[in-house]
Chains A and B, each alone.
Chain A
Amino acid sequence: MSKSSGGTWAPSMLRRGPRNAEQMFPGSSGKSWFGNWFGKMPWLTKLCFLWLILVILAAALADLIPGLADPNYQGFVFGDGKTNEGPTASHWLGTDNVSRDILARLIYGARVSLIFAFSLVAIGIIVGGTLGSIAGYFRGLLETFLMALVDTWLSFPALIGLVFITTMLGMRNLLVLVLVGAVFVWPSYTRIARATALSVSGQDFVTAARAIGTSRKRILVREIFPNVLPALLAYSLVGLPVLIILESTLSFLGLGVEIPTASWGGMINQARQDLLINIWPAVWPAVTLFMTVYSFNNLADWVRTQAATRSAAI
């Protein structure tokens, strides 16, 4: 700045106020794109965002955290025998009724919740997005049948179905839970994708693509699906906390991942027995669950307002 103004004199230098785009719209130069959108968040959303980062990082890197033992190898056999302790220096959040470290179980439990929620969202986007886009663009008999199936499926109470299937199944590891969940997740995604694809395929740019000889398959992949995706992503962000709650509900009912594996709902269920003796093993997972779900909702809401301003700008 000083270099350029030192050279030639220009009348604009007399002018007060911002001189370039960066000064007028701080962060708009694109140099720090993280600061650009993170800075625009309200403080609460910032907190939520940071919390989610923390949860996701802790879950992903749990094995690398020093001093954090795998809670599945604790308890009477492996632990130090201190049951129902309050927060101490060695156990920051205390221990549960079988002397397992609550913090370690929270962190490992986050894995179950997040893997469950994220993989179901991914399956929903891929399966529902594909089926819905095809139905919405190609129309015809396929659409009629698919949508009839979706409507029937959606009218079936998912929680009861989940409880039924998980009760029937002998083993309940995470993979089985995700597969069972997928059975109930795809219809809503299909419906949203189909509705969006319907409106997208009526737009001029799809006709324009036809008018330059683009094949139907290519239009589906290039024109329809990319425009359906934002709607699905927006729905996913709202759907994530619902899925986290769903997993906790199943675990709380004793129908989630099998017992020694840590999960938030399962922890609350287990703490229920000794609630009058020691409330902490129930409080910590409940608070964590609440904060995580609230953060997702808050962030989803913020993203929605941002997307609204952006589409208004178009």
Chain B
Amino acid sequence: MAVSEEPTYTSTSSESMGGSEILRVEDLHTSFFLPIGELQAVRGVSFSLKRGRSLGIVGESGSGKTVLARSIMCLNLGSNVKTSGSAFFDGRDLLALSRREMRRLWGTEIAMIFQDPMTSLNPMVKIGRQVIEHLRQHKNVNRREAKQTALDLLNEVRIPEAESRIDRLPHELSGGMRQRVSIASALACEPSLLFADEPTTALDVTVQHQILNLLSREQRQRNMTMVMVTHDLGVIAGRTDDTLVMYAGKVVEQASTDEIFEKTQHPYTEALMRSIPRTSQASHTPLAAITGRPPVATHLPAGCAFSLRCPYVQPKCHEEDPPLVSIGTSGHKSACWYPVGSDANREAFERNLSDRLPQTLAVAESLGADQSPGIPADLPDGGIA
């Protein structure tokens, strides 16, 4: 009885807290000052996140997603980094906090899981001790309690034979195990906001699936807010509530994850989806890669940053940077002058096709000639699973 009531209680509480904002980022800019010039890694990102929800940040390498996450956590090291804007966590601006105040939040309120479990664990410290390292620092727990906590955590992240593994060094574990250990250590102080920075990129696909499921389960059970940074749309499909697509340091599309997949608005998001290989394709089908390269962040093109690779590019795109505007009612936002699916978009595509624009031809080729652009019918569901 009590058992069956508990989830109901949590869900209602999360429902009632659903209105409360845990994180609001406003106009966040992060720049690195390098000898070759100013590298604008994040250029004015704004979003808000409600308690208990999960957000996926998607974009290819160099789009600023990791820097964004680290900026919010104030983890950008170095004297040549400048961050402006604000990130309100529970009403407090993280970017204005002192190092000492920040340290009180790190681990206990906000935690992070890193990309590479090979390097994110200290090679000289036994995993049991790494998991409870900050528990012993933040809370007064004695050695015995701490060891029991470590054991519980390792069991919770499904490490088999945790009793014997607690005294192992990281290099004695496999990659997936190590990532489980770093998840355990991030969860140890029960943070309310968890950043997962490409948590599965360094792992092979079957292990990826397990780790993602583990993260989703922990997020649900602990009613934790999660930000998942990834370059793989398959990772967030069906796992996060909302999605933010980033390109060259800007948000280009923002919507609930279902909307992003069903009503893609931005050409970049569309291109990302098209580049996911599908099992329905014949073997040896060339991958539909996005032509060109991401712009160098020190020398961004005028106008829309995606204009150089966009199959629907028009003269206006080279001149004016499209603002992020709401489309429809459900909070779907996109930054494009010719959003996918609109008549203007179709006209632009046909015009570019007759002008024989290389990226447009490449898209047309991958879709089959004389076929209108759009997402193939078989949407990736559950992605990599």
Q: Which residues of A contact B (CB under 8 A)?
A: 203-205, 207-215, 218, 222-223, 226-227, 229-230, 313-314
The answer for the CA separation of A128 and B171 in the assembled complex, in Å, is 28
Most chain B beta-carbon contacts within 10 A, residue among A212, A229, A314: A212
Q: Does B186 contact A (CB under 8 A)?
A: yes
Contact of A214 among B77, B118, B133, B171 (CB under 8 A): B133
CB-CB under 8 A from B137, the residues of chain A are 213-215, 218
Q: Does B17 contact A (CB under 8 A)?
A: no
CB-CB under 8 A from B95, the residues of chain A are none
In the complex, the answer to whether A214 meets B134 with C-beta atoms within 8 Å is yes
Q: Would you give the shortest CB distance from A226 to chain B, in whole angstroms?
A: 4
In the complex, the answer to whether A205 meets B107 with C-beta atoms within 8 Å is no
In the complex, the answer to whether B116 meets A204 with C-beta atoms within 8 Å is yes
The answer for the CA separation of A227 and B121 in the assembled complex, in Å, is 12
CB-CB under 8 A from A207, the residues of chain B are 75, 77, 114, 120
In the complex, the answer to whether B171 meets A313 with C-beta atoms within 8 Å is yes
CB-CB under 8 A from A230, the residues of chain B are 124
In the complex, the answer to whether B122 meets A213 with C-beta atoms within 8 Å is no
CB-CB under 8 A from B171, the residues of chain A are 313-314
Contact of B75 among A211, A214, A314 (CB under 8 A): A211
Q: Which chain B residue lies CB-closest to A314?
A: B171
The answer for the CA separation of A314 and B118 in the assembled complex, in Å, is 8
In the complex, the answer to whether B133 meets A211 with C-beta atoms within 8 Å is no
Q: Which chain B residue lies CB-closest to A202?
A: B77
Q: Which residues of B contact A (CB under 8 A)?
A: 73, 75, 77, 103-108, 110-112, 114-116, 118-125, 133-134, 137-138, 171, 182, 185-186, 188-189
Q: Pull 24 A–B residue pairs with CB atoms less than 8 Å apart, ordered by A.
A: A203-B119, A204-B116, A204-B119, A205-B121, A205-B122, A208-B112, A208-B121, A208-B185, A209-B122, A210-B106, A211-B110, A211-B111, A212-B107, A212-B111, A212-B133, A213-B134, A213-B138, A214-B134, A214-B137, A226-B122, A227-B122, A227-B124, A229-B124, A314-B118
The answer for the CA separation of A30 and B116 in the assembled complex, in Å, is 30
The answer for the CA separation of A136 and B75 in the assembled complex, in Å, is 19
Q: Which chain B residue lies CB-closest to A140?
A: B79
In the complex, the answer to whether B124 meets A213 with C-beta atoms within 8 Å is no
CB-CB under 8 A from A222, the residues of chain B are 122, 125, 133
CB-CB under 8 A from B120, the residues of chain A are 204-205, 207-208
CB-CB under 8 A from A227, the residues of chain B are 122-124
- Evaluate whether A212 and B124 lie within 8 angstroms (CB atoms) in the complex, with A222-B133, A313-B171 already known: no
Most chain B beta-carbon contacts within 10 A, residue among A210, A218, A229: A210
Q: Main secondary structure on chain B at its contact with chain A?
A: loop
The answer for the CA separation of A226 and B108 in the assembled complex, in Å, is 25
Q: Main secondary structure on chain A at its contact with chain B?
A: helix
In the complex, the answer to whether B119 meets A213 with C-beta atoms within 8 Å is no
Q: Would you give the shortest CB distance from B230 to chain A, in whole angstroms?
A: 17
CB-CB under 8 A from B103, the residues of chain A are 213, 215
In the complex, the answer to whether B138 meets A226 with C-beta atoms within 8 Å is no
CB-CB under 8 A from B75, the residues of chain A are 207, 210-211
Q: Would you give the shortest CB distance from B131 to chain A, in whole angstroms?
A: 10
The answer for the CA separation of A208 and B130 in the assembled complex, in Å, is 11
In the complex, the answer to whether A212 meets B116 with C-beta atoms within 8 Å is no
Q: Would you give the shortest CB distance from B190 to chain A, in whole angstroms?
A: 12
Given contacts A211-B111, A223-B122, 12 further A-B contacts (CB under 8 A): A205-B121, A208-B112, A208-B185, A211-B75, A211-B110, A213-B104, A215-B137, A222-B122, A222-B133, A226-B124, A227-B122, A314-B171
The answer for the CA separation of A211 and B108 in the assembled complex, in Å, is 10
- Evaluate whether A204 and B114 lie within 8 angstroms (CB atoms) in the complex, with A222-B122, A222-B125, A226-B125 already known: yes
CB-CB under 8 A from A210, the residues of chain B are 75, 106
Q: Which chain A residue lies CB-closest to B116?
A: A204
The answer for the CA separation of A313 and B189 in the assembled complex, in Å, is 32
In the complex, the answer to whether A211 meets B112 with C-beta atoms within 8 Å is yes
In the complex, the answer to whether A314 meets B134 with C-beta atoms within 8 Å is no
CB-CB under 8 A from B119, the residues of chain A are 203-205
Query: Closest 6 CB pairs between A and B?
Result: A212-B107, A213-B107, A213-B106, A226-B124, A204-B119, A314-B171
Q: Would you give the shortest CB distance from A161 to chain B, in whole angstroms?
A: 35
CB-CB under 8 A from B185, the residues of chain A are 208, 212
The answer for the CA separation of A204 and B116 in the assembled complex, in Å, is 8
Q: Would you give the shortest CB distance from B123 to chain A, in whole angstroms?
A: 6
Q: Would you give the shortest CB distance from A143 to chain B, in whole angstroms?
A: 13
Q: Would you give the shortest CB distance from B89 to chain A, in whole angstroms?
A: 14
In the complex, the answer to whether B116 meets A209 with C-beta atoms within 8 Å is no
In the complex, the answer to whether B134 meets A212 with C-beta atoms within 8 Å is yes
The answer for the CA separation of A229 and B122 in the assembled complex, in Å, is 13
Q: Which chain A residue lies CB-closest to B191?
A: A212
CB-CB under 8 A from A204, the residues of chain B are 114-116, 119-120
Q: Would you give the shortest CB distance from B291 to chain A, in whole angstroms?
A: 33
CB-CB under 8 A from B106, the residues of chain A are 210-213
- Evaluate whether A208 and B182 lie within 8 angstroms (CB atoms) in the complex, with A213-B107, A215-B103, A314-B171 already known: yes
In the complex, the answer to whether B73 meets A209 with C-beta atoms within 8 Å is no
